[in-house]
Chains A and B, each alone.
Chain A
Amino acid sequence: MTGTDILLSIRGLTKAYPGVVANSDVSFDIGRGEVHALLGENGAGKSTLVKMIYGLVKPDSGEMTLNGLPYAPAEPQAARAAGVAMVFQHFSLFDALNVAENIALGMADPPKMRDLATRIRDVSEQYGLPLDPYRTVGDLSAGERQRVEIVRCLLQDPKLLIMDEPTSVLTPQEVEILFATLRKLSAEGTAILYISHKLEEIRALCDEATILRLGKKVATCTPRDTTAREMAELMVGSELHVPERAGKAPGAVRLALNGLSVRSPSEFGTSLKDITLEVRSGEVLGLAGVAGNGQDELLAALSGEITGARGMVVLDGTEIGNTGPNVRRRMGLLTAPEERLGHAAAPDMSLTENALLTGAEREGLVSNGFLKWGKARDFAKAIIERFDVRTPGTENAARSLSGGNLQKFVIGREVLQRPEVLVVNQPTWGVDAAAAAVIRQAILDLAEGGTAVIVISQDLDELMEVSDRFAALNEGRLSEVVPAKGLTVEQIGLMMGGSHGMEVAHV
């Protein structure tokens, strides 16, 4: 790369927070029109690095140049004015406002609403991402919401587009549309800084990759010429343990759902429609689906948070559709919801108290209404040891744990209660590769021991790794349940609802 081709050059960026160095002396270059991947595990410092480029965080030392000129944005407006745009991992959209209003908020000097609406239509169609400017964002699908973010960036003619895990909420078909758009942008000379955990996607899309580990740059590679496994090992810094399973014939039916239909308790939720399935002893059933297609409701219907007709849920031949969570827990139907803070764990309570909350019934941590603190503490300690949860002790608040560690704790808490049937939603969401392998192995070991497991996840690679049988949720309905072996990505995508009726890119 010659000097004139370099768009953004980063030299020695360092940022420390109390107790942790997020970035230490990171340097690399991004060329014009280059698609540059930024790789690393959770906590490797990717987010902090892009926040410094986007002006949300000020570096402690180091410098950047953009187009050969010194570049030190004090705030996002300055970054946007310089031609740097960002699509956030957790969408920074306002549900109650419409598409045009959301886009106007991201612009320094927006035109009149009517002109803006016309421009949104033009630009979104030009890049194969059709959008109606007057729809309320709260009603859009995840893929459409992301389009809003991308179009918001495109309207400012960015020279550098930063994308933070853009595909984690998309179906494979939607990913294809997105990639077509990104390739077109790159061909027009826009550089893209692309952050993702999904190594195969990076191999398909990116020209160059920078790999971070514990805040430091550890390697640069050309993704096309590097295998996913090699990149993963560069990220982790050691050999990756792939979960193993022993093939085994499934046993008797443990859990059966018969025409389960329940209304979603929340306004923007998805109601479940006529879901019928069964899970056998020793079997893992994988359920895919884009977020918001009924996953949370299904978990709630299984845990007993939503009750329905008696016969809709059958556990070991007993009809329990109308019973609450405690009865189901006692019978051995355990669940681990997706939302770690607030649903799976009470953020401000200690780990012991959190262990008590779901373990009280099966672990005998309560007698005559009084709590057995000693026993609860031992139980929490056992979880921490067995799942390598990194925390100073059992009396720390759940909130103080990092996402991955808390996830290990909440999954471990259910696994150690020897469930008859275990239902987990997004078991490794936001968890780094090594911890994810531990959690998946625990799920497989549990199935080995005769438990029936349902894994609900948006991570297809994970589902293919652990599932015996596979199905997808789409708008509250369940697809056909098929053996997981030999399924192609295309087939899975179609089961997930294809591109949700969204038009395919015309680029």
Chain B
Amino acid sequence: MDLSAINPVLLIASLMVAATPILLAGIGELVVERAGVLNLGVEGMMITGAICGFAIAVNTGSPFAGFVAAAVGGAALSLLFALLTQVALANQVASGLALTLFGLGLSSLLGQGYVGIKPPATGRLEIPVLSDLPFVGRILFGHDLMVYFGIAVVAVVWAFLKFTRAGLILRAVGESHDAAHALGYKVKRVRVMAIMFGGACAGLGGAYISLVRVPQWTEGMTAGAGWIALALVVFASWKPWRVLLGAYLFGGVTVLQLNLQAAGLAIPVEYLSMSPYLITILVLVIMSADKSRAPASLGRIFHASQ
């Protein structure tokens, strides 16, 4: 075994890349759940975003257009969920599961002509002096723009929920939709918008996998990342910065165990493969032992008549 083969700079830099898909999907789902909606279709929206982004990026040659298309695709699929749960008042758990299955099927249909193609490369941030700094330069300034975008979204969501009136209304809707309705707030409109934001974020997360992380298209390539994002939100106690922490922890252990596998550590591969899930859940369970709790109206169907 040769641990010296593991380069800490590369390790940190690649964990940020590995974490970005679940970070984006997780922060989107966090907003959805804070509005009181449980959308289990994250996986389906991610994979749909992955193929929409991939197809548009390949056809236009522009990764930027690809990411925009991924956000639109994810949001469009989430609109279906919004229609089912907010207008037709269907059960959220069943609708979410259906959305995942539908997204997986739809994406393989859309992706038939795209297997084995290489997408255009997504640009990296290159700042002349800073990016060349030893150690920190590679970690802080050498990534593609989506990594920074993911962190920015976390910061914006945090500030939105904490400081703005719209954020307060969103939290109020998630806490008690009846009380929010009695005060005259449009519960359904708020929730539909939150669901679409969640869909767009999940789509971006999926496209990051197909355009940057892998980068190519294969069926079912999100491989459960949407479920990890869902679990992340719960174990992060619905707090934005904890989603970031959880995502980086998960990404970090994932990258580290791959490195350890490559270095030939004398632990069966199966144990290494399960370690990111175990460690992330363990840490976040310990952290969520404080008094924080789920939004009170989470998963409950709102009907305006009273």
Contacts and interface: CB of A to CB of B under 8 A. Distances in A.
A505 interface: no
A93 interface: yes
A37 B183 CA distance: 23
Contact of A105 (B169, B291, B295, B296): B169
A75 B176 CA distance: 19
B183 A106 contact: yes
A75 B184 contact: yes
Given A94-B175, A95-B296, A96-B175, A110 B165 contact: yes
B182 interface: yes
A179 interface: no
Contact of B172 (A76, A77, A97, A267): A97
A95 B175 contact: yes
Contacts of A96: 171, 175, 293, 295-296
B80 interface: no
Main secondary structure of the interface of A (DSSP, over half): loop
Contacts of B172: 94, 97, 101, 105
A122 B54 CA distance: 59
A20 B14 CA distance: 66
Contact of B179 (A55, A77, A80, A92): A92
A88 interface: yes
Interface string A77-98: 1001000000010011111110
Contacts of B130: none
A76 B175 contact: no
Nearest to B175: A94
A56 interface: yes
Contacts of A55: 184
B279 interface: no
Nearest to A106: B183
Given A94-B175, A96-B296, A104 B168 contact: yes
Interface residues of B, number: 18
Contacts of A77: 184
Contacts of B295: 96
B175 A56 contact: no
Contacts of B179: 91-94
A106 B168 CA distance: 11
Contacts of B296: 95-96
A76 B168 contact: no
Contact of B171 (A88, A97, A110): A97
Interface in A255-282: 267
A141 to B, nearest CB: 18
A267 to B, nearest CB: 8
Contact of B183 (A92, A97, A110): A92
Contacts of A75: 184
A178 to B, nearest CB: 21
Q: Can you list the 3 inter-chain pairs with the closest CB atoms, starting with the nearest? A: A76-B184, A92-B179, A94-B175
Interface of B: 165, 168-169, 171-172, 175-176, 178-180, 182-185, 291, 293, 295-296
11 contacts: A55-B184, A91-B179, A92-B179, A94-B180, A96-B171, A96-B293, A96-B296, A97-B171, A105-B180, A105-B185, A267-B293
